[in-house]
Amino acid sequence: MNFKDFKKAGHWPTLLASFLYFDFSFMAWVTLGPLIVYIAAELSIPVGERFTMVAIPILAGAILRVPMGVFCDQFGAKITGTVAQVVVIAGIAYAWAFGLHSPLEVELLGVVLGLAGASFAVALPQASKWYPPQYQGIVMGIAGAGNMGTVLDALIIPSLAEKYGWQTALATLLIPLIPTLLFYVVFSKEAPGARSPVTLAKYKAIFADRDSWWFMFFYFITFGGFVGLANSLPLYFTIQYHVSGVTAGLMVAIVVMFGSCFRPVGGYVADRIGGIRTLLALFAIVSVTYLGIAFLGAGPAPASGGTGAVAGWAMLDMPREAWLAVVVFSVGVLCLGMGNGAVFQLIPQRFRGEIGTMTGLVGCFGGIGGFFLAKTLGMSKEMTGNFSIGFLFFSALVAVGWIALFGVKRRWRTTWGAASGARV
């Protein structure tokens, strides 16, 4: 790829603004994951209910992506993103000032944070519409790499919650959110060309197209796996390996860093060799990884509980079982992150004229996948006493995705793929 040509091809301030907007919105979206171990300890929330709570922002973000996509097509991405960000900032400020005093209030905060997750349906189409087909993989990868916010969350939030309390940790989100909103308002622009407002007929046509369902399913696997693990792993590591809240955050930061950093790589590789070939390889690795995780043993508890609000093993003292888990999860999440980029290399080739609507729908199913994963892990733990059944189920689900993608490969390459002007 010629980076000089790439810079001239679109509008880089909008691409940067979209990246920053999605990055810090994503950070807000998944912040309940590392915070729940502290909030739950304060409110004495049972283990199964904790997994449900971390799944609520994911589900809310999934559902809200559809209307956000509609609003982008109807009113423009910039005004939609601005209004949504104002609501998220107001909700976080309220929780900081007045606290959360019941499980219901935690769930309501989760819904507000879900609106931050719906930023996906704003940032990606806004950036995509500025660039031609041959750059879609890298553009969608850069804009979508905003999920790097998960890494910042896992690194910073637990330490702040441990030292200053979870309310102060939550309030620190306002530090990047407010300047980012101002940058987005000043520098981002709508892509040239008339918007295509979403009609009921357009939705009907999209749902009648079987390809749209395949993309929803594939993103259910890739993005659902990434965001579901990002929100669930702080709980999983503290339960399975008896680590402290801060250590769990560091472990999650290592794992999700691979998925976040490699999303643009997934888009770039898909641009070079085709999204289908890329996804087939990634699905195979993810399925095997989930299978391996299902058979990982739990780690021993420390002889002394240690100090702190959520005590347990320190990072440097962790048993080898915990380190092995970090390595295996890192491999799987790296492939899930690349898979996100590869899916969105293909979607603009197939649904160029409906990119806003498709981004909302596909993003919705990706979020539902994350909710489903988190909820399944919680149910597995409650019903069987361990997480194995949950991971075995998702291993089988990814294998089904591989078979389905292999089945549509020839048709896609010989129809819309041949006319797209890009490798599929």
Report all structural domains of the chain as residue ranges with CATH numbers, in order of start. Answer: 13-185+208-419 (1.20.1250.20)
CA distance 238 to 224: 22
Sign, CA dihedral 146-147-148-149, equals: positive
CA distance 346 to 257: 24
- The reported pLDDT for the residue numbered 198 is 65
Element (H, E) at 218: helix 210-240
CB-based contacts of 209, cutoff 8 Å, min separation 6: none
Q: What is the mean pLDDT of each run of 10 residues along the chain (424 residues)?
A: 65 85 89 90 86 91 84 85 94 94 93 89 80 75 70 87 93 94 90 68 84 95 93 93 92 90 87 93 98 93 71 90 96 95 88 76 88 93 93 97 96 85 76
CB 393 within 8 A of CB 376: yes
Token pair in block for residue 264: 């643009």
- The reported pLDDT for the residue numbered 147 is 66
- The reported pLDDT for the residue numbered 132 is 76
Give me the residue label for tokens 């490699």: 262
Short-list 301, 293, 358, CA closest to 332: 293
CA distance 130 to 340: 20
- The reported pLDDT for the residue numbered 350 is 86
- The reported pLDDT for the residue numbered 185 is 92
Short-list 239, 227, 231, 4, CA closest to 119: 227
CB 342 within 8 A of CB 335: no
